[in-house]
Homo-oligomer: A and B are copies of this chain.
Amino acid sequence: MGLIYLFTGNGKGKTEAGIGMAVRARGQGNRVVFIQFMKGLPTGEIEPLKELGVEVYRFGTENFVDFKNPSKEDVELAHKGLEKARELAKEKPFLIVLDEINVAVAANLIDTEEVLDFLKTIPDETNVLLTGRYAKKELLDAADLVTEMKEIKHYFKKGVPAKEGIDY
């Protein structure tokens, strides 16, 4: 049976672990779908994932989402992302990564119920990974495995800027 994985918390490593799961699953010869929510800016992982045959889809603009007042475009893009997941789930891939979907829910782009409904319909052959901070309790409850990536120490706090090749 397919399992539901969830990585949340305020520390570095959630998306990175999603990339790692995608790579490992591909390495065992499986079909992998990687859907990124709220991300429009280029990040280093996209091209290598595609090179390995991971099916990558991105639904986001280059701007930050205003949590208190998200734009219509942000809401539409997030729904398109979930719709893409629904559509591809029917083809029973081994793994679907929904990167940053927890944040998309927290930012009110998608309802928790919509994600729960999606999770109820995934085929037995398919595993799903939800990543992003601020995961709702209902999503934690729905997951078979939850890891909290907890920030113990981060150089951002010392004023060191984001590094290309590491943070994006």
**Copies of this chain, count:** 2
Query: Which of B16, B30, B51, B148 is A152 in contact with, Cβ under 8 Å?
Result: B148
A123 interface contact, C-beta 8 A: no
Query: Does more than half of chain A's interface fall in helix, strand or loop, or is it mixed?
Result: mixed
Decide: A147 near B24, CB < 8 A? Known: A52-B52, A165-B94: no
Query: Which of B5, B49, B153 is A146 in contact with, Cβ under 8 Å?
Result: B153
How far in angstroms is the closest Cβ of chain B from A69? 31
Query: Which of B7, B28, B166 is A3 in contact with, Cβ under 8 Å?
Result: B166
Binding site for B on A (CB under 8 A): 3, 5, 7, 9, 11-21, 23-30, 43-49, 51-52, 94-95, 127, 140, 143-155, 158, 160, 163-166, 168
